[in-house]
Amino acid sequence: MNDIAPEFRITLSGQISPADVEELACMGVKTVVNNRPDGEEAGQPTSAEIEQACQAHGIVYQQIAFAGGMMDMNHVQAFADFFNKTERPLHIFCRTGNRSNNLLNAAREQDLLDEE
């Protein structure tokens, strides 16, 4: 997990598994955002599997999925709206972390995030 904004309690990573959710819960993560569409790669856990693991650990889960290079302002706004109403620490993931990083940076560049 890459701690990209400790002052705002945001981490991001590549693909997580349902088993990884327990580690996130132990780290105090309250919210998980998945930026990866289902079926992108063989053997990839589904959004439903990750969501079920999050629910079992009391973590709020949201999928805001888009293919690599396909991010648009709808994704950025959906992320910002969700981010602004959820608890942190927050963990964002996709296949490698690049999409999630780009989404976070785009929301920041548009000054859409309430980062207290």
Phi-psi region of 69 (alpha: psi -120 to 50; beta: other; left: phi over 0): left
Give the strands of the sheet with 31-34, arranged side by side. Answer: 2-5, 10-13, 90-93, 31-34, 60-63
**Separation between Cα atoms, residue 22 and residue 66, nearest integer Å:** 25
- Express each pLDDT in 68-111 by its tens digit: 899 999 999 999 999 999 999 999 999 999 999 999 999 999 99
pLDDT, position 16: 97
- Looking at residues 41-61, what average pLDDT do you find? 97
Residue 48 domain flag: no
Residue 88 domain flag: yes
With H, G, I as helix, E, B as strand and everything else as coil, classify residue 10. strand
Residue 99 domain flag: yes
Q: 91 is in which domain, residue-wise? A: 10-36+83-115
Residue 54 domain flag: no
Instruction: Quote the number of domains for the chain.
Output: 1
Residue 67 domain flag: no
**Separation between Cα atoms, residue 83 and residue 87, nearest integer Å:** 8
Angstrom CA distances, 35 to 7, 69, 79, 82, 116, stand at: 22, 12, 9, 13, 23
Residue 92 domain flag: yes
Residue 108 domain flag: yes
Residue 41 domain flag: no
pLDDT, position 81: 97
Element (DSSP H or E) covering residue 105: helix 98-109
